[in-house]
Amino acid sequence: MILTVTLNTALDITHRVPSLRPGSSHRVSEVTERPGGKGVNVARVLAALGHEVTVTGFAGGTTGRILRDRLTEVPGLVDALVPVSGPTRRTVAVVDARSGSTTQLNEPGPTIAHAEWSAFQAVYGDLLASASAVALCGSLPPGVPVGAYAGLVRTARTAGVPVLLDTSGAALRRGVAGRPDILKPNAEELAELTGFHEPLRAAQDARRRGAGTVVASLGPEGLLALTPEGHWRAAPPARLPGNPTGAGDSVVAGLLSALVEHRPWPDRLARATALSAATVLSPTAGDFDRPAYERLLPDVRVTGEANAA
Amino acid sequence: MILTVTLNTALDITHRVPSLRPGSSHRVSEVTERPGGKGVNVARVLAALGHEVTVTGFAGGTTGRILRDRLTEVPGLVDALVPVSGPTRRTVAVVDARSGSTTQLNEPGPTIAHAEWSAFQAVYGDLLASASAVALCGSLPPGVPVGAYAGLVRTARTAGVPVLLDTSGAALRRGVAGRPDILKPNAEELAELTGFHEPLRAAQDARRRGAGTVVASLGPEGLLALTPEGHWRAAPPARLPGNPTGAGDSVVAGLLSALVEHRPWPDRLARATALSAATVLSPTAGDFDRPAYERLLPDVRVTGEANAA
């Protein structure tokens, strides 16, 4: 199975309003609610692709109970979340129906006790024994040490499990030092990590900081990959209109699914790019449009080259 | 006891953000969550004033369970909510810490089944037998007939229980025809009901439409009351800065508490005005500042006169 780690899971609420006017009162015309947090989103895409996937991280309180109830409805997904005493956070995405723009409100998450963090590390170690790859995704909740991801990366490497890291800020800066096999930043995270705004130069710097491979997601321009085997760019056939929420999580799912199928890098990047584009095209934020995925996949342009043998 | 009816109860969530920028992602710096809906807020103030109060209306789903759990923490408050299959709605108030302005997102609420509405009416009839006054507050959830309040007003009048109505739109227009003893609109609701923007003329028209007494809340200018016993205005000693959320609910609590204590109209209006002002001054939306209430009460200016005997 593929393991995804979401230390700061969330109950994602979407409120659709005719038009968002700050300082006013709004009647919400449509409400949706579903399990979230980046690793949970990655797992949902992996399960939809037919992979066995296990979700771990933390869940607590009433919001955590709703989240776990809803995860049981996803075929192929196993819930190995560790219970905590604090309540799982909510996120609220307010979608303005007129402009199509989304305003996001993210609660900070429960404070994790030292004993809860220790319990998680034990569960994580056990799960790695049967994992073919692991993704470490998203922000750290209060109470988890800022160097947490570096430790989790090292545990995976010791267990011989390929590990991908997708986070931001201090958690990213500290995590990359653990030498993850794959780092998946977006352009902004990569610039913040390295100080370089030119993606190629920034990706080279991120590899020097410890990442084996860097796959940078550059929004509508697609992916840039610097790997030990070569360097590539992958781009969708056209600029696509839609909601980019979850596009980065679909990149992670695409990369890991193709990795465990032993596909070469150009195939991994094509799949990640097509999945990401099909997520932008989906009417529901964070879902992907499967016919669009299948239609786009053969048309993704991958350029670059493998290193000389 | 005093009975408050909240057909569309809510779990009120407040998200404090440094500055709300539409289309952006925000880290919420502070989260609070509490039972809401106008009648629940009225009940909380009545309980804080030392009155026995019973809350009825609907509650369902996980949000309804949280709401009922939290109501058990309020001393003097009895929960007589009727269970429904749909989940109680949430409201999200986003407070911009920089400007102090509040952006409100109100979910519509669960659809009430015909059998659930019938079950409520039976409970309501039973509760009236031991009620000294009843307040009917807030919006109607989907599934409840738009004429609901007119029926509930008539049931209360038949039972000889003084009934106050505080709602808006079509529910108000239909409800006033049931001849409530007290109607408590704000300036905007009163103008929408009557078509008159001048409060005195609008209040006179609302009495013609069926209200025994009209107490209009005019924001910082205080209250205007047209009653069978006379007409009065009540105003706080000064314009007060703060958050008006819940100020109208405190007016209802002030009016009903003084009514069941058999106080004359000027005393009722003074209490309602001081409670409302102390709610605006409270740092927590919808709570009132008790020392401010006690300090303001003797300084409320009530002008007007009783009718000739």
CA A115 to chain centre: 26
Phi/psi of residue A2, each to 5°?
-100, 135
Task: Say how many CB pairs under 8 Å bridge A and B.
Answer: 77
Q: Is A198 left (phi over 0), alpha (psi -120 to 50) or beta?
A: beta
Quick one: closest CA in A to B108, which residue?
A: A28
pLDDT, position B245: 80
User: Which H or E element spans position B104?
Assistant: strand B102-106
pLDDT, position B243: 75
Exposure of B153 in the CB half-sphere (CA atoms within 13 A): 25
Taking alpha carbons only, the member of A12, A279, A296, A106 closest to residue B15 is A106
Number of domains in chain B: 1
Cβ atoms of residues B203 and B216 within 8 Å: yes
* CA dist., res. B222 & res. B301, Å (int): 9
Q: How do B182-183 and B163-166 pair as beta strands? A: parallel
* CA dist., res. A230 & res. B164, Å (int): 75
For residue B10, is it within any domain?
yes
* CA dist., res. B3 & res. B47, Å (int): 11
Q: What is the pLDDT along chain B (309 residues), one digit of tens a residue?
A: 999 999 999 999 999 999 999 999 999 999 999 999 999 999 999 999 999 999 999 999 999 999 999 999 999 999 999 999 999 999 999 999 998 888 999 999 999 999 999 999 999 999 999 999 999 999 999 999 999 999 999 999 999 999 999 999 999 999 999 999 999 999 999 999 999 999 999 999 999 999 999 999 998 899 999 999 999 999 998 888 777 888 999 999 999 999 999 999 999 999 999 999 999 988 776 789 999 999 999 999 999 989 886
Q: Which residues of B212-244 are buried (b: 16+ CB within 10 A; e: fewer)?
A: bbbbbbeeeebbbbbbeeebbbbbbeeebebbb
CA angle B284, B287, B291 (to 5 degrees): 100
CA B171 to chain centre: 14
pLDDT tens-digit series, residues A197-245: 999 999 999 999 999 999 999 988 999 999 999 999 999 988 887 778 8
pLDDT, position B282: 86
Cβ atoms of residues A87 and A107 within 8 Å: no
User: Which H or E element spans position A290?
Assistant: helix A290-296
User: Chain-wide mean pLDDT for chain A?
Assistant: 95
As beta bridge partners, residue B94 has: B15, B103
pLDDT tens-digit series, residues A160-210: 999 999 999 999 999 999 999 999 999 999 999 999 999 999 999 999 999
ipTM above 0.85, yes or no: no
Contact across the interface for A101 and B26, Cβ inside 8 Å: no
Contact across the interface for A102 and B66, Cβ inside 8 Å: no
Q: Which of B22, B62, B101 sits opposite A20 (nearest CB)?
A: B22
Q: For residue A61, give its domain range.
A: 2-306
Looking at residue B272, the DSSP 8-state letter turns out to be: H
Q: Give the number of other Cβ atoms within 10 Å of residue B183's Cβ.
A: 30
List the A25-27 sheet strands across, edge first.
A25-27, B102-106, B89-96, B10-17, B30-36
Token representation of residue A155: 């545990």
Contact across the interface for B26 and A66, Cβ inside 8 Å: no
For residue B208, is it within any domain?
no
For residue B92, is it within any domain?
yes
Q: Give the number of other Cβ atoms within 10 Å of residue B305's Cβ.
A: 10
Token representation of residue B44: 């909380």
pLDDT tens-digit series, residues A80-111: 999 999 999 999 999 999 988 889 999 999 99
* CA dist., res. B62 & res. A65, Å (int): 9
Contact across the interface for A28 and B66, Cβ inside 8 Å: no
Q: Which of B21, B28, B92 sits opposite A106 (nearest CB)?
A: B28
Q: Which of A26, A65, A94 sits opposite B106 (nearest CB)?
A: A26
Cβ atoms of residues B39 and B57 within 8 Å: yes
| CATH number, domain containing residue B16 | 3.40.1190.20
For residue B225, is it within any domain?
no
Q: Give residue ranges of A with CB < 8 Å to any B CB.
A: 13, 15, 17, 20-29, 31, 62, 65-66, 90, 92, 94, 96, 99, 101-108
Q: Which residues of A17-31 are buried (b: 16+ CB within 10 A; e: fewer)?
A: beebeeeeebebeee
For residue B264, is it within any domain?
no
pLDDT, position A175: 97
* CA dist., res. A88 & res. A142, Å (int): 12
Helix (DSSP H) and strand (DSSP E) numbers for chain B: 10, 16
Cβ atoms of residues A225 and A199 within 8 Å: no
Cβ atoms of residues B64 and B9 within 8 Å: yes
Look-up of token digits 């809510």: B10
Look-up of token digits 């964070």: A286
pLDDT tens-digit series, residues A41-51: 999 999 999 99
pLDDT, position B309: 66
